[in-house]
Structure 1
């Protein structure tokens, strides 16, 4: 008999955190699950740890593969999952004992979501969700209220039949934002959502990340184009106006890129990049159209439109150097 829930954990060089992560699954109050550990070519003892767990519990399956990134690992998990529901957990995170029981309460909704505790950077606990179920007639309301909060795959339960029927996969060509894109594509096929105010997922945050990789604006632009396309599809399917969400998505990507380049590149490079970015009509329309309440946000947008944003980037650059 197939398990109710498939838990997919990509594993890559996380021997120091893997025990705590897997043990948090073994200690779940809800026991009808299978655990798929996808060893993505780990060079430490992670692969050995995975095999040890598989020998201890028949519900655990291990798959070893050459290193290909988190998306390829998650896709291997999807291909081999047997559960009616799928949840994704990172191997350096952990979940509380009622994680699965909180997410799975019935088979009525297509996706269930809760929020998380962020630890290790600026530690905080946030629960922006209220206990609520959005039915098929309330999808416009859901997209407006929650879409920008649905950017991470963890803390969620996905109906496996939808993933299988529409052959949904994580985009392995992307190095950033592939998890958000997967969720937005999944949402195109749903009819109901349940959100929970319970916070049972512990996300271990190591800061902004990406600093060890040389990401160009082309990479950010690629994911931005795909995210905007997915949002436009949601607009068409649910007869919903997503213009404001599109603008906010553009701004999120821009700010992420500005922070990134200001932390590793020279001031002349920063200015050159920003001048080039602001030539895009999509970018300018988003800056002009996004609704900003704070005076700081309005000032930053003014700097963008008047080609002075590089001043803010310099401040970030100097702050990073000082720290």
Structure 2
């Protein structure tokens, strides 16, 4: 956490409201937050009994006072000019969201340092294809006015909740600006929720893409096939995780297999993933045991 807070407080753009929400942590996280708040008046610390990520994030949303907002996970850190750069871009282009690339575990790669501007429809397409605009919140500077319809993090979804919230923001946006600059450093921890044993939390990711698939068909029918294909890919990844973890609740396994079979025609039609993934999807539907061996 100190590295995270230090990177935020040292931003070249200084006019910040830094909101920290402690969700009933068992370690010394709250103490660290309070120590930082005592040294920097820009920090606001809020504590709640453990109610989950969704409740903590919704509490954070209710505290936003500025024209823009962004999220940083406590395990991660950001480049010192991230906010200034994205703010300059979003204001210059009169966009609603500015997004950058993410570095995973400091494995920084070369960048061409270019920017692109996307309309709402173009951003939706790239969201579904998992291209420049993906379902991560942490790498996006967003206009606070996009919260006008009060989107919320759903309490019954704890895997893929970022993608669903990004989708709600994207529905309100008119223009998105992207840069390939790698400003956000994501620390991948193997004991985090993203890598935990398969269970109800991960299974909630299926609901996310079911919602997104239905909404795409209703709001952006031109991308309906892409959404169905993405739903198939995401479900295949869930089934793979379940198989590798030795998950044994076969009713849920069969539900995932049915989803893959239902959306397979679109996956076969749209170039959204590798041939290897398509073959794996077919094999996993035929043999759950084999899916755990590959």
1:123-174 Cα offsets, whole Å, 9 max, x none, are 464869951122xxx43333223443421101101111120x2111211221
Backbone CA RMSD of aligned residues = 2.6
CA displacement at 1:226 relative to structure 2: 2.0
Q: Contact (CA 8 Å) 1:116, 1:125: kept in 2 or not? A: no
- For the pair 1:313 / 2:291, whether they are aligned, the reply is yes
Cα distance in 2, alignment partners of residues 128 and 249 from structure 1: 28
Hey, what's the Cα distance between the residues in 2 that align with 1:227 and 1:209? 20
Give the equivalent residue in structure 2 for 1:264.
Answer: 245
Q: Please give the per-residue CA displacement for 1:239-277, whole angstroms capped at 9, x wherever unaligned.
A: x511233123212321231232123226xx387754443
Tell me the equivalent position of 1:119: 105
2:180 match: 197
CA distance in 2, matches of 1:153, 1:101: 18
State the match for 2:123 in structure 1: 142
Where does residue 226 of structure 1 map in the other structure? 211
Write the mapping of 1:19-168 to structure 2, written as runs, cut at 5 A: 19-105=2-88, 106-107=90-91, 108-119=94-105, 123=107, 125=109, 130-134=114-118, 138-147=119-128, 148=130, 149-163=133-147, 165-168=148-151
2:264 is matched with which residue? Answer: 287
Deviations 1:43-82 (A, max 9, x none): 1110011011111011110001111122211111110111
Q: What is the distance in 2 between the residues matched to 1:295 and 1:51?
A: 51
The 3 A distance-change label for structure 1 pair 214 and 143 is closer
Partner of 2:62, secondary structure, is helix
Q: Give yes or no for the alignment of 1:186 onto 2:160.
A: no
TM-score, normalised with respect to structure 2: 0.86
How many residue pairs match? The answer is 283
Consecutive unaligned residues in structure 2, runs of 5 or more:
none
1:224, distance to aligned residue in structure 2 (A): 2.6
Q: Is the 8 A contact 2:146 2:169 kept in 1?
A: yes
Q: 2:153 aligns with which of 170, 174, 193?
A: 170
Change (3 A) 1:87 1:127: farther
